[in-house]
């Protein structure tokens, strides 16, 4: 007779092992204690929404993961092993890419040159335009992007949704394992928001770990598998979103209280 082995459970319930795990993270700026004992797991193939009110510590947490503001204390584990992340180069080396809200795109450059900005490919001492164009197109095709007619279009001519798409495609171009998206649908219209959310979902479906920072709970409930709630620098909880409703997540964001048993049957 076979015995069924229970699935391993973590902050997000029965899922695969995390790519990234943070344990007991502390971060202060002078006398201001911004992060206090924060735990977070990011798993492959899942979208983890990071939510919290202004000042909850979301930006500091993400910048710590990216190595911009290294953590003061706590464990930073990648694929179960402790790693040292003291700068963005260390984070990029692990395959972690961040798409910030300002996108960091250059309007006077085309899509190809924006995707390879600062990482241009060369051949015999010259920029390898053909290879860069081919890889840019392959990356966009792999993400099922159909809204860009030409990768030689200047970014200044693109819509908000198309610009966000270019920034996300740039993040996955470098064999990334985890993509962190900071308010990717902010200031977008309904149609463009839908386009970007579909792309976010496709990233997870390709096996990447995705962290979605958003104030828009409609977006969170549409694409997220897990939700992690920060309140005044502490992690209220990281749970599977299917077990909770919007009102409970709002309560957690505003009061720091999250039901332990969920409220959705």
CATH number of the domain residue 241 falls in: 3.40.50.300
The confidence score (pLDDT) of residue 145 equals 87
Q: What is the pLDDT of residue 67?
A: 95
Is residue 131 assigned to a domain? no
Q: For residue 119, what is the enclosing H or E element?
A: none
pLDDT at position 263 is 55
C-alpha torsion sign, points 89, 91, 94, 100: negative
Which pLDDT score, from 0 to 100, does residue 174 have? Answer: 84
Which residue stretches of the chain have pLDDT < 70?
1-15, 261-265
Partner residues linked to 179 by β-bridges: 97, 210
Instruction: Using alpha carbons, select from 21, 50, 24 the residue that is nearest to residue 37.
Output: 24
- Work out the percent of the chain whose per-residue pLDDT is above 70: 92
Per-residue model confidence (pLDDT) at position 189: 86
Instruction: Give pLDDT, residue 213.
Output: 96
Q: For 212-222, write each residue's pLDDT tens digit.
A: 999 999 999 99
With respect to residue 186, please indicate whether it lies within any of the assigned structural domains: yes
Residue 35 lies in a domain: yes
Within a domain: 43: yes
What pLDDT, on a 0 to 100 scale, did the predictor assign at position 10? 45
Joined together, the tokens standing for residue 214 give: 């958003």
Q: Can you say whether the dihedral through the CA atoms of 179, 170, 58, 47 is positive or negative?
A: negative
Domain range for 225: 19-103+176-255
- pLDDT value of position 14: 47
Residue 49 and residue 149: Cα distance in Å, rounded?
31
For 165, the enclosing helix (H) or strand (E) is helix 160-172
Helix extents (H) in 24-128: 58-65, 88-94, 111-115
* DSSP label at residue 148: -
The H or E element containing residue 75 is strand 73-78
Strand partners, 230: 235
- Give pLDDT tens digits for 152-188: 999 999 999 999 999 999 999 888 999 999 999 887 8
Position 224 in a domain: yes
204 assigned to some structural domain = yes
Task: State the Cα–Cα distance between residues 75 and 77, nearest whole angstrom.
Answer: 6
Distance CA 16, CA 259 (A): 24
- The count of structural domains within the chain is 1
Inside any domain, residue 228? yes
By the 10 Å C-beta count (0-12 exposed, 13-18 middle, 19+ buried), 141 is classed as exposed
Our CA angle for 46, 47, 49, nearest 5°, is 145
The pLDDT value recorded for residue 262 is: 57
């Amino acid at each position: 007779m076979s015995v069924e082995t229970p699935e391993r459970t973590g902050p997000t319930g029965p899922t695969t092992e995390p790519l990234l795990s943070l344990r007991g993270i502390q971060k202060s700026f002078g006398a201001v204690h911004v992060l206090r004992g924060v735990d977070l797991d990011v798993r492959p193939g899942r979208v983890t929404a990071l939510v919290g009110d202004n000042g909850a510590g979301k930006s500091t947490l993400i910048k710590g993961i990216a190595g911009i503001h290294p953590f003061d204390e706590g464990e930073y584990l990648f694929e179960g092993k402790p790693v040292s992340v003291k700068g963005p180069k260390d984070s990029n080396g692990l395959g972690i890419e961040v798409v910030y809200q300002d996108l960091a795109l250059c309007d006077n450059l085309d899509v190809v040159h924006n995707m390879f900005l600062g990482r241009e490919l060369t051949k015999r001492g010259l920029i390898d335009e053909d290879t860069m164009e081919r890889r840019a197109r392959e990356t966009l095709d792999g993400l099922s992007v159909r809204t860009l007619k030409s990768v030689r279009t200047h970014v200044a001519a693109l819509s908000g949704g198309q610009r966000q798409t270019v920034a996300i495609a740039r993040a996955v171009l470098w064999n990334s394992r985890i993509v962190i998206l900071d308010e990717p649908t902010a200031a977008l219209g309904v149609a463009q928001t839908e386009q970007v959310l579909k792309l976010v979902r496709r990233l997870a479906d390709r096996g990447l770990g995705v962290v979605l920072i958003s104030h828009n709970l409609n977006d969170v409930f549409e694409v997220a598998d897990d939700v992690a709630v920060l309140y005044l620098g502490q992690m209220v909880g990281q749970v599977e979103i299917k077990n909770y409703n919007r009102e409970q997540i709002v309560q957690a964001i505003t009061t720091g209280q999250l039901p332990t048993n969920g409220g959705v049957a």
